[in-house]
Amino acid sequence: MKKFLVFSLCLIVAQYATSKTYDIKKLGADATGKKSCTELINKTIEKAAEEGGGTIYFPAGTYLTATIEMKSNITLHIESGATLRFSDTFEDYLPFVKIRWEGTVMNTLSPLIYAHDADNLTITGRGTLDGNGFKWWAWEAETRKILKENGGKLPTKNQLQQMWEEANQDLEVSDYYKGSLERRMFRPPFIQFYECSNIMIENVKIINSPFWTINPAFCDNVVVHGVTINNPDKNPKGPNTDGINPTSCRNVRISDCFISVGDDCVTIKSGRDADGRKYGKACENITITNCVMLSGHGGVVIGSEMSGGVKRVTISNCVFDGTDAGIRLKASRGRGGVVEQIRVDNIVMRNIQRNAFIFDLFYDKTSKVEPVSERTPVFRNIHLSNISGREIKQIGYINGIEEMPVQNLSFNNINMEGKIGFIVDTAKEIYFNNVEFSVEKGCAWEFKNSDKIVLNNIRTKYPAEGMPVVKFENVTNGFINDCFQIEPVETFYEAINSSIIEGNNYWNNVKNAQ
Separation of alpha carbons 427 and 475, rounded Å: 10
- Neighbouring-strand partners of residue 68: 113
- Neighbouring-strand partners of residue 422: 396, 445
Q: State the catalytic residue, choosing from 273, 297, 324, 451.
A: 297
Alpha helices in 18-133 (DSSP H): 38-50
Active site residue 297: yes
Phi, psi of 2 (to 5 degrees): -60, -40
Active site residue 263: yes
The residues, ordered by sequence, that sit 6+ positions from 201 with a Cβ below 8 Å of its Cβ are 122, 123, 124, 191, 214, 223, 224, 225, 227
Give the closest residue to 445 by CA, choosing from 418, 408, 412, 477.
Answer: 418
Separation of alpha carbons 85 and 92, rounded Å: 13
Contact yes or no for 351/321 (Cβ under 8 A): yes
CA distances from 454 to 404, 433, 450, 481 (A): 20, 8, 11, 8
- Neighbouring-strand partners of residue 320: 293, 349
Separation of alpha carbons 98 and 147, rounded Å: 26
b vs e for 360-369, b when ≥16 Cβ sit within 10 Å of the residue's Cβ? bbbbbeebee
Separation of alpha carbons 343 and 335, rounded Å: 23
**The Cα angle at residue 205 between residues 203 and 210, in degrees rounded to 5:** 135
Contact yes or no for 168/106 (Cβ under 8 A): yes
Phi, psi of 92 (to 5 degrees): -65, -10
Q: State the catalytic residue, choosing from 242, 263, 264, 275.
A: 263
Separation of alpha carbons 54 and 487, rounded Å: 65
The maximal CA–CA distance of the chain, rounded, in angstroms, is 92
Question: What positions carry a catalytic annotation?
Answer: 263, 297
